[in-house]
Amino acid sequence: MGCLIGGRLARGGHHVSFIARGAQLAALRAHGLTLNSAQDHWQGAVNATDDATTLGAQDAVILCTKAYQLDGAVAHLAPLLDENTLVVPAVNGVPWWYFNQHGGEFDGRTLANLDPNGVLAKAVETKRIIGCVNYLAGTLTQPGHVHYVHELERRIVIGELNGAITPRLERLAAAFADGGFAPVMSEDIRQNIWHKLWGNIAFNPISALTHGTIDQIAEGYHDIDLVTAVMNEARNIADKLGIALAQTTKSRVEAAAKMRGHKTSMLIDIEHGRPTEIEAIVGAVREIGRWMEENTPHLNTLYSLVKLKERFYSPSVELSGHA
């Protein structure tokens, strides 16, 4: 996501710097960034570094890491910030800041699953944060090369935590539009978070466990009650938070069935032997459920099974068929 969002912004005429490491950093420095889709191709030189102190203060810092990598990412933030710098966490699942400026009984409460030591809260002042939900589909095919699905959603939803449409939000939306995205300024960014999360909370962990694509799982959902059971548990929690999910479970699953051959990010992580974003997508919702004394037996089961799969599954081990 970092390469895709940053690359499109650079293509749109904005000065973009990438903080990277390892093979990705080497490729960006040596060959620039390449973006490919079935309809389009772009390649360009980009400014890439592993030392944030060389970049100076930025107008906006877009955090595009996996949720579990945020602790490491925010360690590099301080040199990039001045009084007006925005921080835009473009991450999956429930963000650590969710209950900041939330109102109600949970206002200001910390999600232990996401920020157990308060590292994120200390590094990023609430006043800087712009909430972000993206619907982009991209894959890093090799360091410095991203294949993305141009004909699918180009939508990026952004919003102030208090719901206001501010001049700084409008400037950020204009920058995304320059990059060829379809930005939406939301007056309720938490609603948008839940809209995306509601599907991810079922399809991501189930695909990680079964290795099925979204359409394969969705097409069988009438016979696999787990999909609807998980979505219903999540809806119950959303309802108690005042989030109205207007879409029916049936229509959401039918939409997922049209995503032919699409692998979830959690399945891709499992296939590559990486940690998953199970804490942000499932763990945080379970934690909120406990605050409410709302039972989540199906979410609990998926959470435990994915954690076990992270621990024991190795993509390099061939199954021999022997016990």
Radius of gyration of the chain (CA): 20
Answer for the pair 306, 265: CB distance below 8 angstroms, yes or no: no
Distance separating alpha carbons of residues 234 and 297, to the nearest angstrom: 11
Of the candidates 176, 97, 178, the one whose C-alpha atom is nearest the C-alpha of residue 134 is 176
Answer for the pair 245, 55: CB distance below 8 angstroms, yes or no: no
Whole-number Cα distances in Å, 211 to 253, 257, 262, 309, 316: 18, 15, 11, 12, 15
Distance separating alpha carbons of residues 137 and 152, to the nearest angstrom: 7
Of the candidates 7, 16, 119, the one whose C-alpha atom is nearest the C-alpha of residue 61 is 16
Give, in degrees to the nearest 5, the angle at Cα 115 between 113 and 120: 160
First to last CA, the chain: 40
**307: annotated active-site residue:** no
The single residue of 66, 122, 127, 196 carrying the catalytic annotation is 196
Judging by DSSP bridges, how do beta strands 60-63 and 47-49 pair with one another? unpaired
Whole-number Cα distances in Å, 124 to 63, 71, 216, 279: 11, 11, 40, 20
Which positions are annotated as active-site residues?
Answer: 196
